[in-house]
Each structure stands twice: as structure tokens, then as C-alpha cells.
Amino acid sequence: MPRQVPIMQLFLASTALLALLRPHPVEGAVIKRQTGNVNDVTLDIVNAQLAPDGFTRSTIVANGTYPGPLIKAKKGDTLRVTLNNKLSDPTMRRSTSLDFDGVFFNTDNSFDEGTPFVTTCPLGPNTSFTYTVPLEEQTGTFWYHSQLSVQYVDGLRGPLIIYDPEDPQADLYDVDDESTIIQVGDWWHNSTLPLLEGYEATGIVPVSDSGTVNGAGRFNGGPAVPFSVVNVEAGKRYRFRIINQSARNVFTLSFDQHNLTIIEADGIAVQPLAVSQLEILAGQRYSVVLEANQPVDNYWLNAPYVGGSPDRNLNQNATLSRGILRYAGAPEADPTAPMTLGPDTGVLVEANLRPLVADPPPEPDVNITLNLVVTDGKAIWNVNNVSYLPPQTPTLIKILNGATNASDFNVTENTFVLPANATVQIDFPPNDDDEAHPFHLHGSNFWVTKSNSSDVVNTVNPIKRDVVGVGAAGTTLRFRTDNPGPWFFHCHIFWHMQAGLATVMASGLDEIRDEVHPSAEWEALCPAYNALPADEQ
């Protein structure tokens, strides 16, 4: 569906129920362990009146909570996720589609991958669809969210953790469970349709009202919503899995009087790296180890953010974005230390990260340069002078029907046709933009041979991840096309993605036709979606 949307009346909630002023506990997804290591998960996508920062509004969420319920599995499992679309609020999108960020669908079931108009069509209201998600050898910290337009701004986001029973770094921590997941996100009082309408009219990216930590936040002039609490015991070491579920904001995390040791980035184990402050872009994830070695007390978990000028939204106050690290035995009270932006030393430099096991990238077989440009005064982004528009017929269907080269796709699909089992190098030249674009690749991860955080080119032991910052210093990455499919490659600032900052990396088209065997359920999605009236799409 084109990024233009029909004009909808602005929906604003006017009351705040006291029960909604407290952080809402996240209930577990319905998971039933079956033989053959298949986890059955049920997510009901519903409209719910919630107030994460004290302002009540209608939301789009999984199982009634923001963030959504934890989906957890272990290495080698297969997730079978049934999505029941129960959306009914006409002030927001009523169709939906789910993306499992960072999880690699293999060729045989790439049709289940969940990217609207690339691998599938959205799921209409009052219908269901089951995604089959083979996890294979992947482990680490992931998340799920709506991939339709900017819908996850309305709340549809949640954690997905794949535990490794034989984690080679298990001796570095004592606790790693639901209590050690930290989710940060930008929060918006207005729903996405009027926000998107304003963006398209002015070219100004919307600015969030607040930031949330595990579903709780505050804004200027709003109620004193209790801060989210992370509980620890003195003497223990905790693996905190940090997920930035924002549609725009960059968060910088720190804990007063505690250092952090990074051991994972986007599902890839890294050599331990000590920092005191962790900058994390939209879509990125890190695991850090915190040792509870300070006197028993309450300490601030600082999570200030940036994302557009706060002058454009006077609700913003970055110092209110925080939580509490509470030692067992400490009083149930806010820390007595002042609210600050956290330490200003020991900041993570991405280029300093190294993989736990060195995996040098092969020399490239294909070289692509991607130039990112925004049209002055308009909300249109271009990649190599093309602004991505989703096609009516998904890319995968075109491939299955015989598309073989770039000319078989619309120019506005910005599709790069790549050979199977090749190494592709992507160069993002330095640009003048004042914010790093977090580019995310579906279907595989990539080596970051030149990080935006450094001028150093590293082809010996660069990290691999699936979201990387692209900005003023330039970025170079490489990836293998050993998982054939049409894979979306886009900015994870979803406002930018919706405005055209995206491409499709389509690799191994012949292999796709040989190996992909769509289900009847998948084949029914597009006819059903295309038959919907516009207000239900």
C-alpha cells in the first residue's frame, strides 16, 4: 500500500484512569512446549486503552499490554506464532503484519517472514495467520513488532529471547531471565494516522512525547507514573538484555555507580567490553553484565534519549526517561541522587567491539554504493535517487512468477538482484545528516567493516550485527547471500522508512523458485487483503 494514508480524525483520549498510571505487568505469551522443540505462541492483536506515561490513549498491542508479552525459546527450537487480528478502532490501521527482528527465516519458509509487500500481504481484521519461525543456530536478544507502515508506534512491540543452554559466556553472569530484560521505547500521545498525515504535509518527522523503560514513562506536566524497577541482590551478576524498540529515538543507558560489560550485540556474542554508558539506536539490542557490587540502595537507571528537537514537543523531558535499580533490602523509594543524564565517560564506540569468535569477511563479489538523500522541504527520502514505494504485488510473488532481473520490478521497489552464495559489500558514503540512520537487514546479518563511529577499516575481526548506524562518517558492511530471498533493507527510523528510505536485496532468484513452497494460508493473504475496503487495510 502506498505510504499516503486517508485523512483520519485525530484521536485523543481525554481521561486517565488511576489504574493505568502504574506500569502494566507484561503477561507471558501463550506458549505450549511440544515434542520436536516446537513452541506454540498465540498473540491477540487488540486495541486497548493504556497510559504508559499517564496519558490515556487507544493503542494497538499484543495480548493487551505494552510492551507485548515475552516470547522465549532456546537454540534449535521452532516458533509457531499464531497472530489473531482483533483490531477494531477505525482511527488507526486495522490490518497488521508481524516482523521478528533479527531472526533469519530460511529459504524454504521465507514467505512467512512478515514484511508487507516484500514477502507477504498484511493480515486483515478478524482473521488469523500462523508464522513458522525456525530458529536453527541463532541465539541472543531479539524482538517483534508490526512491520506495516508505522503501526508499531501505536504500541505493537515486544521481546523475543533465544536462550543458549551452552552459552560460552555463561560464567560471566549469574542471572538471565525475564527480570533482566530492559526495553526502552519512544511513546506518542497521538495515533499514527494523524502523525503520518502531518509528516507528509510538512516534511517534519514527528517528535515523541516521552520515553519508556519497560513500559513506564513520564512527560512534562504529566502524572508521576511510578518508575519501572529492576531488582537485584548484592553480590550477583546480571545479564541485562537491552532492546531499543523505538521508531525514532536514540537512547543512552547507564546505571549510577555501576559499570557495564557488553557481551552481545544484535544476537552475536562479542568479546567482553567494559563501558559506563551505552548508546543504542532504534532496533539495536545489547546484552550487558552488571555486577551488583555497590551498597544496598536504590540507583537510577538512566535512559535519556534524542530524536528531533524537543522544541517541537514540549512534553519531552529526557531526564524523566529512567528506571530504578533496586537492591534487595533497599526501601521501596526513588533514589535520593539527582536525576541526571548519567556519566559522560566510558561511552561505547561501536568500532571497539570484537566478535567472541573471529569470523573474517570474504572479499566482495558485488559492490554497491547507497547514497541517502532527503528532498528539501518534503517528507521524501531517496536511496540512489529512488524513493521506495511498496508494490501492490509483493516482491516474492513476482519472483515465484518468474521475475529474473531488476527490470522485472517497479523502479520504486528499489530492488537489487544479487547472485546466490556471493559476498556483497555495501558502502554508505559520509553524509551531512545530523542523525545516524539505523539500517536493518532482514534475512541475515552483516560484517561492519567500517563503523560510523570510526575511520578505521577492519576486515580481520569486525563485528556482525543486523542494525548499523549510517551517518556523517560513512559506513561499510558486507553480507553473504547464502539465504536466498527478497530481504528488506531499510532505515529503522520507521518515519524515514515510510518516506522511502528502503531497498530490497533479492538474492538467488532461481534458488527461491526451486526451494520456496508457500502454504495455502499464505497464498490467501493477498486476495483477502486486496478485497478489504480502504478503512480496513
| CATH superfamily name and code, 366-529 | Cupredoxins -  blue copper proteins (2.60.40.420)
pLDDT exceeds cutoff 70 at 438: yes
Q: How many CA atoms lie within 13 A of 246 on its CB side?
A: 34
Per domain, the residue ranges of the chain are: 18-166, 192-352, 366-529
pLDDT exceeds cutoff 80 at 35: no
Grid cell, residue 347, equals 561511552
What are residue 480's phi and psi, to 5 degrees? -100, 140
Q: What percent of the chain has pLDDT over 90?
A: 90
The alpha carbon of 486 is separated from its chain's Cα centroid by a whole number of angstroms, namely 19
Please state the rounded mean pLDDT for residues 355-381: 93
Query: Looking at domain 18-166, which CATH architecture does it have?
Result: Sandwich (2.60)
102-130 CB burial, b ≥16 within 10 A, e <16: bbbbbbebbbbbbbbbbbbbbbbbebebb
Do 192-352 and 366-529 show the same overall fold?
yes
| CATH superfamily name and code, 192-352 | Cupredoxins -  blue copper proteins (2.60.40.420)
363-392 CB burial, b ≥16 within 10 A, e <16: ebeeeeebebbbeeeebbbbbeebbbbbbe
Residues in the chain: 537
Triad 137, 27, 92: Cα angle to 5°: 95
pLDDT exceeds cutoff 50 at 23: no
pTM for the structure as a whole: 0.93
Distance between CA atoms of 45 and 40, rounded to whole angstroms?
Answer: 16
Please state the rounded mean pLDDT for residues 325-345: 96
Which letter does DSSP use for residue 344 in this model?
A: S
Q: What percent of the chain has pLDDT over 70?
A: 93
pLDDT exceeds cutoff 60 at 303: yes
Grid cell, residue 79, equals 516458533
pLDDT exceeds cutoff 90 at 433: no
Of 206, 202, 197, 200, give the one whose Cα is nearest residue 10. Answer: 197
- pLDDT, tens digit (0-9, with 9 covering 90-100), for 455-497: 999 999 999 999 999 999 999 999 999 999 999 999 999 999 9
Of 466, 525, 533, give the one whose Cα is nearest residue 115. Answer: 525
